[in-house]
């Protein structure tokens, strides 16, 4: 492979070996490596590859053996680090289903767009007696002052409209945070959503690793939303953001967007109690 000692010396020089602690040690290391190469050439048969003998000669010398092992370790560590950096952690819907078993309450901030009007809301929800968020305790306060409370203990739903100064009271739980936080939704998502795409990245605000799941609703499930993007935190496996569109092509602004989701917040019992304001008309439906 090398015709003479000069070729090998050039290869060694290009390695840029750092043989600290001093220059003398570096020169000694180079001298011994060149000496090993010279000795090997004398033992090599004509036309035979010199590398097996070179390797044995080098590894028989303490200093060159140490340098060789160090070089191999450096290559191995660099390779492992490189591939670890490229590796993408896998995500599966089942991980989210499992993570939700430890969630009993949520706080959500949302943005709603309807017919050019933008509204904001805050929601609190607690897992119901049947183990689901769907039709459990629920409270929503809008930026317009509307308040909705669904109380599982009372089995009543209150709707307060400040503009009409009315409170509607309905028997039963007629308002819910939806099925987005229940395992059935994610299992259905896995089995029935169309054109599903998964993309890994970083959350813009927190810098945490996330995975985004983009999908289209099957026609039999389409109501307000027809497609959506759900972003999951890769460590907790829980959703951090929902985006829903009222068209099937992800065009324009979202119709509903959950911009903040907090899990297991501390909720007082008063959270799901509704105090009827004074000077309002109470309507029982």
Q: pLDDT tens, 171-211?
A: 999 998 887 788 778 887 778 888 889 999 999 888 999 99
222's tokens: 């389409």
Q: Greater confidence, 76 or 221?
A: 221
How do residues 241-262 score in pLDDT, each as one tens digit?
A: 999 999 989 999 999 999 999 9
How do residues 51-67 score in pLDDT, each as one tens digit?
A: 444 444 445 555 555 44
Mean pLDDT, residues 126-138: 90
| CB neighbour list of residue 21: distance below 8 Å, 6 or more residues apart | none
Taking alpha carbons only, the member of 164, 114, 115, 180 closest to residue 277 is 164
Per-residue pLDDT at 76: 43
How do residues 139-173 score in pLDDT, each as one tens digit?
A: 999 999 999 999 999 999 999 999 999 999 999 99
Q: Where are the domains of the chain?
A: 5-86, 93-272
- For the sheet with 209-216, list strands across it: 194-202, 209-216, 227-233, 239-245, 256-263, 105-114, 117-126, 137-142, 147-151, 156-161, 166-171, 281-284
Q: Name the CATH superfamily, with its identifier, for domain 93-272.
A: Lipoprotein localisation LolA/LolB/LppX (2.50.20.10)
- Local structure of 68: helix, strand or coil: helix
The whole model's pTM is what?
A: 0.67
């Amino acid at each position: 492979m090398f015709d003479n000692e000069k070729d090998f010396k050039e290869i060694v020089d290009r390695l840029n070996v750092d043989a600290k602690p001093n220059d003398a040690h570096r020169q000694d290391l180079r001298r011994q490596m060149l000496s090993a190469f010279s000795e090997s050439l004398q033992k090599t048969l004509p036309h035979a590859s010199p590398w097996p003998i070179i390797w044995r000669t080098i590894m028989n010398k303490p200093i060159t053996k140490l340098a060789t092992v160090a070089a191999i370790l450096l290559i191995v560590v660099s390779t492992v680090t490189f591939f670890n950096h490229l590796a993408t952690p896998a995500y599966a819907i089942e991980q989210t289903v499992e993570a939700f078993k430890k969630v009993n309450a949520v706080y959500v901030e949302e943005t709603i767009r309807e017919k050019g009007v933008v509204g904001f809301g805050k929601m609190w929800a607690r897992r119901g007696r049947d183990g689901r968020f769907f039709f459990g305790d629920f409270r929503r306060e809008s930026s317009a002052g509307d308040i909705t409370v669904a109380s599982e203990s009372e089995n009543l739903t209150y709707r307060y409209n400040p503009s009409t100064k009315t409170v509607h009271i309905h028997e039963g739980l007629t308002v819910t945070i939806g099925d987005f936080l229940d395992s059935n939704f994610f299992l259905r998502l896995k089995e029935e959503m169309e054109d599903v795409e998964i993309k890994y990245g970083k959350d813009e605000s927190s810098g945490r690793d996330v995975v985004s799941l983009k999908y289209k609703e099957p026609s039999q499930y389409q109501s307000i939303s027809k497609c959506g993007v759900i972003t999951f935190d890769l460590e907790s496996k829980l959703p951090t953001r929902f985006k829903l569109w009222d068209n099937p092509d992800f065009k324009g602004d979202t119709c509903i967007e959950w911009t903040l989701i907090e899990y297991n917040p501390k909720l007082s019992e008063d959270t799901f109690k509704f105090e009827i304001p004074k000077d309002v008309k109470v309507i029982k439906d």
